[in-house]
Chains A and B, each alone.
Chain A
Amino acid sequence: MNETQLRNIVEAALLAADRPLGLDQLQALFEEHERPPRALLRTALGELEAGFADRGIELREVASGYRIEVRKQFAEFVSRLWQERPPRYSRALLETLALIAYRQPVTRGEIEEVRGVSVSTQIMRTLEERNWVRIVGYRDVPGRPALYATTHEFLDYFGLRRLEDLPTLAEIRDLDDPNVTLDLGVPAGAETRAPVDAEEPDGHEEIRALHE
């Protein structure tokens, strides 16, 4: 067995093992008649290390032996292999967000009134952390509840230039109609938008809420 072979066997074993390997374990890879002395194994490990110099991996000696690690400078890229998407947002969160968008500025209590169930603090926190909603004031009633509104980030995320780019409730209802397609992917700067709602405030008569 020549030096290159020895180095290659050591490399293969270190990369195939799911644990660090000490010199004893490396020696145990060989039949007795071809077992390399420890000094030769050390030389092979040294060569291996030198060969890794300009590569993505490196040889490290840890308490229980040698192992091959990803070089620290590449850890950030490699970590992206485990990017995880958390589970999808709950129905409750989407409804809350939608009500804030259409009814802003609005308090949590008012959202709860429409939804018929309470809105958890966790949902409000998630929406605020995502920078989709923020507090724009406090209603001057006992308890001074916070008033929530949507943000620029909210508009950006959903590809809207303005809040009024959101379809009316009547338009949304047509979503169920397979013959109607709604232009939802509103590209920024789209010129073919309908006239602003202020011109035809009646167009929104279907958007209803709790306060008279």
Chain B
Amino acid sequence: MSHIHIPDGVLPWWLWVTGWVATALLLGMASRMATRTGTRRAVPLVGAISALVLVAMSIEIVPIAYHVNLTVIAGALLGPWLGAISAFIVVLVLALVGHGGITVVGLNTLMIATEMALGWALVHGGLRLLGSRRVRPVAAASTIVTLAITTTMLVGIVALAGSGATARHTGALDVETLEFRNPFSGDLINVGLLGGDNHGHDGEHATEAGHVDEHETEAEHDDEHEEGGALSVSRFAAVVYTLGPIGWVLEALVTAGVLGYVVRVRPSLLLRSVNAPPSASARVGDEHGGR
């Protein structure tokens, strides 16, 4: 997930206020579109998928603390409008439980909503084109393309903000530090998948410390930056585009794995929405054939 980690009160106020305004407009439109299929259907679906994304973000896939985001999957299941709502909820909950960045909730929502909408369009377009048997490659390719595009968007925002040092992580790849790290040190759920039982957190603070150290050396390069001035968009972009792909590939593998599993176990899930108009993808949870 593209997630701008910018402290509160640092970004120019016009930028984050614009973010909030745009998000408000987006949410207004999204809720109008979503309620066409019925609020009653949308509410539990968005709730469950947003919760899933939040839980997934706290799961470590690789011991080096790579965590997934599932935004492409969430997008594919929710469609663009419900996806926008879900993006807002996910970002807001993160900000409220100590992730920081309450003021940039607007901007982050826009980023993730875009990611979900792209994921939806690409996965469904790809499946329509190639058929459901190719769900894995379709999912993987969609994820990579989606992340590449949102990363470009991020570079754009950075350029707008006029600061070359916007930290960002794609997947959990922190492009600034060239390393993978898990931002959710105290995990949402206390399950150390690979380590001992309830004592998996100590090691992570150590990586955090190491993380900081690396920046001290890096900071020297950035000394030429003036406050809020002299952006190094080109350098930022170079770093993002050389290192981002590792994160994209990991996310793509996970997305392909999860969607592949889902299609094998319950084929109707994606297929139905492939043939349905966009708004109908909101009815994906409908398994009982009743109302």
Q: Report whether chain A binds chain B.
A: no
